[in-house]
Amino acid sequence: MSSEVVIELEHVGKCYRLGEHHGAGTDLRETIARTTGRLRRLPREEVRELWSLRNVSFAVEEGNALGIIGSNGAGKSTLLKVINSITTPTEGTCRTRGRVGSLLEVGTGFHGELTGLENTFLNGAILGMTRHEVRSRLDEIIEFSGLERFMDTPVKRYSSGMYLRLGFAIAAHMEAEILLVDEVLAVGDADFQRRCLGKMNEVEQNGRTVLFVSHNLDAMARLCPTTMWLEKGRVRSIGPTEGVIDAYMRSAGSTSTGVLLDADPTRSAQVVGVSLVDDGGTVQSILSTRDAAWLTVEVVTNHPVPGLDISFQVATRSGTGILDELLSDLGPSSISSAGRYIVGCRLPPVLTPGEYVISVWMGTAYEQLEQLDDVVGFTVEGDDLGRARRLIKLTTEWRTARVDDHLVDG
Ligand SMILES: Nc1ncnc2c1ncn2[C@@H]1O[C@H](COP(=O)(O)OP(=O)(O)OP(=O)(O)O)[C@@H](O)[C@H]1O
Ligand SMILES: [Mg+2]
């Protein structure tokens, strides 16, 4: 007899009505998730329907780990929110068996004005814990998070790393039969990522079920035997991880040389283009191992945004991060006043032959205005000189000094 099905979705669809005013009286959890989650672009006047999920059907058996991949906006987070009952499906049914614990996008389920301690109780309740359960594990949760000194600070003053530590500590200390993990590896430091992967592994080993959303395909391949690929809200394929990742990478590779996005005057600041540009100013999708280039964004600032900052991340196509450079690393940013800017970040010829993707973040110390994951792909071509195990090459300075002179002389 096969093992028990613990997650089952049948023809699930989720429709958002964009532009509609979300009044009071909607589901509390959804309101919290929406107000504390990432900022969304909403056109002002017209009301438009957007199906984030459509006709999604699958089942997961107890003790399995299912990976979920797909490009930005494919519906991955929405899917986890449906499974976690943070949001209700517009059509179809979703059934789960057992308690669902989750580590969703940074800040989901946290309320900015409340302190770390208050949020621990709130988040615990959202995860299905009683106050008594939270209280009995509070010391462990606080210790694990390493945030003893910040438990009375409103979480809106937390960095994204601190948010994560608290969210992870809460999720890790509840007994859940199903663990949902959304994209948390992208923001944590190496130590956090290790603990997180270890925890997920442990959960899986204990016969519990894990759903893991990530753009880090290497981590996915290690953790999940089966992966589902979502595309525009629909299941494009589901099967053994290696085959699904292969197909996904091939399809992603064919699309991107540069992106252009529509300007939206209602937003304070927006990225309208991303590309990789050579020294001659030409957009490139292939570089030689000898060529430097510019990671380039075009930004429109409609209102002054003090402290507006930009970062570029470069990762291998399979998700291993290589670079993460922040404009303000070099001093105060100069794109805060209203205007249109081209911002370039020098990419020296350090990459080895392979396929890469560029992601862009824009925001301030207090809010994220843009996060475009894997928006542009490019290939580096050349000889790896037989050194296939390295990720970057420095061709850097060497020093040699002869130190046995006295022996030679003597
Ligand atoms: N609360 C909401 N209101 C309106 N639209 C929403 C809401 N949540 C999600 N959407 C829209 O639904 C679509 C799917 O979003 P979702 O966040 O699930 O994508 P994703 O696959 O998780 O993307 P990413 O890789 O960027 O995290 C997007 O077009 C998004 O803008
Ligand atoms: Mg998401």
Task: Evaluate: CB of 40 within 6 angstroms of ligand 1.
Answer: yes
3-state secondary structure of 316: strand
Other C-beta atoms closer than 10 Å to the C-beta of 317 total 20
Q: Please state the pTM of the whole predicted model.
A: 0.62
Give the DSSP letter string of 320-339. Answer: -EEEEEEGGGGSS-S--SSE
CA of 80 to the centre of ligand 1 (A): 11
Look at residue 2 in the predicted model and tell me its pLDDT. Answer: 56
Ligand 1 centroid to Cα of residue 143, in Å, is 33
Ligand 1 pocket mutation, candidates 18, 22, 32, 52, criterion most atoms within 8 A of CB: 52
CB 38 within 8 A of CB 371: yes
Residue bearing the CA closest to ligand 1, atom 11 = 52
CB 42 within 8 A of CB 83: no
At residue 197, the 3 state secondary structure works out as helix
In order of 285, 345, 352, 354, 377, the CA distances from 279 in angstroms are 13, 12, 19, 21, 18
Run means of pLDDT, 10 residues per run, the chain, 410 residues = 84 85 47 45 59 96 92 90 92 92 69 90 79 90 88 88 80 79 67 73 81 81 90 95 83 56 82 88 84 92 92 90 92 85 93 91 91 88 79 89 71
- CA of 92 from ligand 2 middle (Å) equals 21
For residue 255, what pLDDT is reported? 43
How far apart are alpha carbons 294 and 378 in whole angstroms?
A: 12
Atom index in ligand 1 nearest the CA of residue 71 equals 25
Question: What residues form DSSP beta bridges with 115?
Answer: 154
- Burial class of residue 200 (count of CB atoms within 10 Å of its CB; 0-12, 13-18, 19+): buried
Check pocket membership of 92 for ligand 1, CB cut-off 6 A: no
Domains present along the chain, CATH in parentheses: 5-253 (3.40.50.300), 258-381 (2.70.50.60)
**Residues around the ion ligand 2 (C-beta < 5 A):** 77
- Whether 75 is in the pocket of ligand 1, judged by its Cβ within 6 Å, is yes
At 237 the pLDDT is 94
CA nearest ligand 1 atom 4, residue:
16
Q: Which two tokens stand for residue 180?
A: 């949902």
